[in-house]
Chain A
Amino acid sequence: MRNQYQERSTVIRIIFLTVGLIFIVRLAFMQVFDGEYRRLADNQALRPITQYPGRGLIYDRNGELLVYNEAVYDLMVIPKMVKNLDTNLFCNVVGITRDEFLTRMKKAKKYSTYAASIFMKQVSKEEYGAWQNHLYKFHGFYVQQRTLRVYDKPIAAHVLGYVGEVNQSDLDNDKYYKQGDYIGKSGLEKSYEEVLRGIKGKHIMHVDVHNREIGHYMNGALDTMAIEGGNLYTTLDAELQEYAEGIMANKRGCIVAIEPATGEVLAMVSAPGYDPNLLVGRVRGKNYLKLDSDENKPMLNRALIGQYPPGSIFKVAQAMIALDLGVITPQTGFVCDKSLVGCHNHPSARSVQEAIKMSCNPYFYQVYRRIIQQGKYKNIYKDAQYGLTVWHDYMLRFGFGQKLPIDLPRGGMSSGNIPDTAFYNNKRWYGRDKWAFSTIYSNSIGQGEVTVVPLQMANLACIVANRGYYITPHLVRYFGPDSTKNEEYYEKHETGIKPAYFEIAVNGMYDVVHGAGGTAHKANIPDIDVCGKTGTAQNSGDDHSVFISFAPKNNPKIAVAVYVENARGGGGTWAAPIASLVIEKYIRGEVTRKDFERMYREAAPCQKIKKKK
């Protein structure tokens, strides 16, 4: 009686155990087997904030800061998290119209509803400051700090290049980049991208129900710090660069100045140019279109991409090759026979040195014939093929016919053209056994099928200045956090031609500037021994004016190539005086010939480019 129904205690125990079991099974499904809750929870409460490292700074050779950064802010949005938004207040604070708001929102939603995208780009520090107190009210919006490039002096735009948002192929090529990231698009910004960009970090912020960041998730245990980008210490001389750009301001062409002993590029000017500040920030798109559609192509770096007939400066290389081959001697003389090829009036050259000074066309016609038709084969075509191959090999050693391995993007560079047998044997040109010296003699004086890029011209001046070799022209001396020396760019490239022969070229080029009958007396600077060689390259418009030079004659400090497009008059008229100004500026620190300087600075000799119809 006392303990009737005791068996019911078992039923009660079973009920308790069953409920416990149901809970545990339910928990197992929610917590162990279903990962969706974790994803949704992280999405809701955690916000990964990318830490963008400051991009590396760029200095000139004297430690002057050329490029640095300025903080701006991107307003980010996660469309899915936008709720209860006071649109009027939002538009007022951010300073946009309702329509604009809707358009931007639509765009963001199109990209992704749950991932963050940029709602408004590159807001200045001041603007951001004004919003800051309101921002927490706008669920789904937050701000991400970015940096923009700033240039104190508007110089060296082509060399420095510009930075822009990544495109699809950047994203595909390198997983480092995410939509909206910046990447070097041209110039040093592109070729040293991996040094400059640093390493992005990520902070995982914990946000609360009010969209406020309440701290670092797990006290920052999962956070990574951004590692600042490495700096570039360039070879440029900012003062010289600015000076050279000033002279070229109202002209079309380019200047390349190199320190011959090291291959360090002191200045590289392409005119017309542009202010690098134009391609930064929110104005970039508009300015880019404008610059891109300009018929003068201000965004092209002519010093690297322009392929020009070299004209008479080519004769220096021709002489060196012929001497080394032994087909002429330093004392070989040729009559100035204008029936072979046109020339100006001058006494016939009695030596290589005189020929260089006078720039005699028939003389180099003969020199080139001896190189091409060496008489190794009875068949004239076969003989010419042999000669051209030998000549082509020499020319490659001078750095012609190939992209010089300068530390700028290969894409923005031309190789120039030194024709080889394959070139002429091609049916679309002459075809096999259809050409010999008499067909290709224009090459002798830097016309015909030969083209070179201005960097190669400056490099030729370096080879002569160094008496037979060059160091790879380059723009960066040290880079990165440890200021690593850019060793690979200090490699010596020998032409294999005796220095003694180059002394002849040096003396010839000295006479060009200083000797009676020289073609470039305008390059003469008091107290500085300038050596140079003029060139006048014929083309469809007015002649191009060319000059390569170095100074001083012994122990040269600078080699300069100047190319002025479609300027009336030969190399001596425009390119030579401009080169002399650059040389004087660099060696003396200032130009003493003030009137001379003003005259060439103000001159605008270039024939206008006709607009394409």
Chain B
Amino acid sequence: MQTKIDWVTVLLYAVILIFGWLNIYAACYDEAHAAVFDFSTLHGKEMMWIGASLVIALIITLIDPHIFSSTAYLIYFAVIGLLILTLFIGDTTNGGTSWIKIGSFKFQASEFAKFATALALAKYMSTLDLDYKQIRTKIIAWAIILFPAGIIILQHDTGSALVFASFLLPLYREGMSAKILVIGLVAVVLFVLALLMEKIWVIAIIGGLALIALFYLFVWLNKRTMKHYIWVTALFLICTAYVFSVDLAFEKVLQPHQRERIDVLLGKADKETSKTGTGYNVYQSKLAIGSGGLIGKGFLNGTITKADFVPEQETDFIFCTVGEEWGFVGSTLLILAYIALLLRLVRLAERQYSKFSRFYGYSVAGILFIHILINIGMVLGLLPVIGIPLPFFSYGGSSLMAFTILLFIFLRQDQERTNLI
């Protein structure tokens, strides 16, 4: 039995797409090229990409949804092939080698690796009688994730590689231990604290927490076995060692520009670096957004975004235009639209009958979520600068088409959910 496609999701997709195009139009607006269908301009090209994406979406809704699971590995390895090919024949821009150039077209395989990995992982995780607890299962699952991510790191596109962390979300939903998430969170918090504060204070905090834990164990739970004391002490020592190794990791592992970005974010960089050096993008981005006020300066009236102060303002920094021209009201509505889309995807995923579809649905939500989190977090100065696009919004054919494919494969499965068991 076939049901209707989920119109709520399609509507949210359309709203975000149209609003995105308007902002690209504003970001690259100049009076000489104001025509909507001027294909020499970015907004004209984006119009073309939107058209192509809609055609792809339409095609996807017409094909048999069984194909996605049956060809998952095929698609996955095809994309892996493209990624490797990119390494060899790719075009090098800004230190990264992530584009394949075909004539005047540029193609970014890493964008397509996201849905391909989602398909392959969903396929593997929905294998009949798979035992999640087995080490072998875990290794294979992580290999599926880290293989493309590793190649993308070799292309020097750390941002795109980071996106693969989004698979933690479907894995978590399917029963992965929550400990790994908690440990990850603690590691991040300690990392930031270690950079911001004197080490001794961080250790004092950890020590304090350890004492509270001991007290809790001792007095309330009355568990006075040696095992618990050893656990607490070991955790304390590990955390302390971690805190002291943060500096080393910071200096040795991260590249200088990455270190500076983190310094700028944490407010540790000097004024010059924050405003005109490494922090220039974010400073301008914050100026643009912050100056938007409650209702914004109005469509095409942005002063910062209209004057090329923000680099990459059609792509990674497109949110600046929203903030500046549409103000708090417009920005909030966009964020609410994204959150609504994510919540809708969770709802759709939960109503799937097949594990493959549910896992894939959560993968879609996870991938979109991490993009939104990192992109908007970056332009608002909450996260370090990591160049990844805002889904359905940033300028770019590859990303728009890849996100559309990602989303509509899921919508197609949702439409046929009763036939996919």
> Which residues of A line the B interface, CB within 8 A?
2-6, 8-9, 11-13, 16-17, 19-20, 22-24, 26-28, 30-32, 34, 36-38, 40-42, 44-46, 83, 206-210, 214-215, 217-218
Contact = CB atoms under 8 A, between A and B. Distances in A.
Per CB-CB distance, the 8 closest pairs between chain A and chain B, nearest first, are A37-B290, A41-B291, A208-B307, A45-B303, A20-B339, A30-B290, A31-B328, A38-B291
Contact of A13 (B303, B343, B355, B380): B343
Given A13-B346, A23-B335, A208 B173 contact: no
Contacts of A206: 303, 306-307
Contacts of A210: 308
A308 B328 CA distance: 75
Contacts of B175: 4-5
Contacts of B309: 44-45, 208-209
Contacts, number: 118
Interface string B382-417: 100000000000000000000000000000000000
Nearest to A84: B276
B369 A16 contact: yes
Nearest to B293: A31
Contacts of A13: 343, 346
A358 to B, nearest CB: 84
A28 B328 contact: yes
Nearest to A22: B382
Nearest to A204: B303
B328 A42 contact: no
Contacts of B339: 16-17, 19-20
Interface stretch (B57-65, B100-108, B245-253, B281-289): B281-289
Contact of A41 (B294, B304, B332, B355): B304
Given A13-B343, A17-B343, A217-B303, 7 more contacts: A20-B338, A24-B335, A31-B323, A32-B294, A44-B287, A44-B309, A83-B276
A209 B293 contact: no
B127 to A, nearest CB: 15
Contacts of A30: 286, 289-290, 323, 380
Specify which of A4, A6, A42, A209 lies most central, judged by the most chain B CB atoms within 10 Å of its CB: A209
Specify which of A27, A209, A210 lies most central, judged by the most chain B CB atoms within 10 Å of its CB: A27
A24 B332 contact: yes
A20 B332 CA distance: 9
Contact of B290 (A11, A16, A41, A83): A41
B373 interface: yes
B343 A16 contact: yes
A26 B294 contact: no
20 contacts: A8-B172, A9-B346, A17-B339, A19-B339, A19-B373, A20-B339, A27-B289, A27-B331, A27-B335, A30-B289, A30-B290, A31-B289, A31-B290, A31-B293, A32-B328, A34-B290, A38-B290, A42-B303, A45-B306, A208-B307
A263 to B, nearest CB: 57
Contacts of A26: 380, 382
B335 A20 contact: yes
Interface string B279-320: 000000011111111100010010110111100000000000
Main secondary structure of the interface of A (DSSP, over half): helix
A11 B382 CA distance: 22
A11 B365 CA distance: 14
A9 to B, nearest CB: 5
B332 A16 contact: no
A468 B271 CA distance: 80
B307 A207 contact: yes
Given A42-B291, A44-B304, A206-B307, A12 B331 contact: no
Given A17-B339, A20-B336, A42-B291, A27 B308 contact: no
B44 interface: no
Contacts of A42: 291, 303
A37 B373 CA distance: 23
Which bucket holds chain B's interface residue count? Answer: 35 or more
B91 interface: no
Contacts of A38: 290-291, 293
Given A16-B342, A27-B380, A46 B294 contact: no
Nearest to B382: A26
Contact of B293 (A3, A32, A217): A32
B287 A40 contact: yes
B308 A209 contact: yes
A87 to B, nearest CB: 18
B327 interface: yes
B169 interface: yes
Contact of A5 (B174, B287, B338): B174
Nearest to B306: A206
B111 interface: no
Specify which of B298, B335, B338 lies most central, judged by the most chain A CB atoms within 10 Å of its CB: B335
B133 to A, nearest CB: 13
A441 B128 CA distance: 136
Interface string B173-195: 11100000000000000000000
Contacts of A32: 293-294, 328
Nearest to A45: B303
Interface string B240-262: 00000000000000000000000
Interface string B349-368: 11000010000001001000
B303 A46 contact: yes
A24 B327 CA distance: 12
B111 to A, nearest CB: 23
Contacts of A28: 328
A31 B319 CA distance: 13
B276 A23 contact: no
B329 to A, nearest CB: 9
B145 interface: no
Contacts of A22: 382
A6 B350 contact: yes
Interface string B203-214: 000000000000
B26 interface: no
A8 B169 CA distance: 10
Contacts of A20: 335-336, 338-339
Contact of B286 (A11, A17, A24, A37): A37
A370 B331 CA distance: 96
Contacts of B355: 2
Contacts of A8: 172-173
Contact of A37 (B287, B306, B332, B372): B287
A41 B303 contact: yes
A44 B365 CA distance: 39
Given A16-B342, A23-B380, A31-B327, A218 B301 contact: yes
Nearest to B327: A31
Contacts of A4: 175
A220 to B, nearest CB: 12
A45 B293 contact: no
Nearest to B342: A16
A6 B175 CA distance: 9
Contacts of B172: 8, 11-12
Contact of A45 (B276, B304, B327, B331): B304
A16 B169 CA distance: 11
Contacts of A207: 307
B227 to A, nearest CB: 28
Nearest to A214: B307
Contacts of A24: 332, 335
Nearest to A213: B307
B376 interface: yes
Nearest to B349: A9
A45 B368 CA distance: 34
B304 to A, nearest CB: 5
